[in-house]
Amino acid sequence: MRIVAGEFGGRRLTVPKDARVRPTADRVREAWMSILADSVPGARVLDLYAGSGALGLEALSRGAESATFVELSPPSLQALEANIAALAVGHRTTVRRGDALRFAEQLQREAFDLALADPPYGRADAGRLVSLFRRTPFARILSVEHRADEVLDGDTTRRYGDTALTFCHAR
């Protein structure tokens, strides 16, 4: 896995040593960032279910001001910390160990400009996150990766094979 574009384009990322981890494919991440291209520069980004941090680090590479990563898994946290160190972006990042949904529940309205989430498939977290966002939009934009056969209450959904990206805007 690598950073697709921007300041760190082409740099390889450490992937967690955990068979349950399903990193976002480079082509999906590239499409994701292209859709959000106008929203990334200068943004305060929240990367929920961060895993290796690929989404938030991609946003930093493309000009985001800062990124906050939320992850619970120790192997993922270890990979995330290694990637932050390798790119020397510690001064632009915050890492929170904990449950992403619980973290989001504590946020104030539009605490972030952009929230990116890649919850584990097979759990209802994607739908719960969108429902929470509809009640309290904790970012100007929420974008969630999920299974293509899962329907979420978003404003726009794009499908890429068996993966979908749903976008929600604060109202």
Q: What is the rounded CA–CA span in Å between residue 120 and residue 112?
A: 22
Whether 8 and 57 have beta carbons less than 8 Å apart is answered as yes
Q: What is the rounded CA–CA span in Å between residue 110 and residue 46?
A: 11
Return the H-helix or E-strand segment holding 54: helix 54-61
pLDDT tens digits for range 4-36: 999 999 999 999 876 566 667 778 888 888 999
pLDDT tens digits for range 39-80: 999 999 999 999 999 999 999 999 999 999 999 999 999 999
pLDDT at 31: 87
pLDDT at 128: 95
In order of start, what are the domains of the chain with their CATH numbers?
26-169 (3.40.50.150)
pLDDT tens digits for range 138-160: 999 999 999 999 999 999 999 99
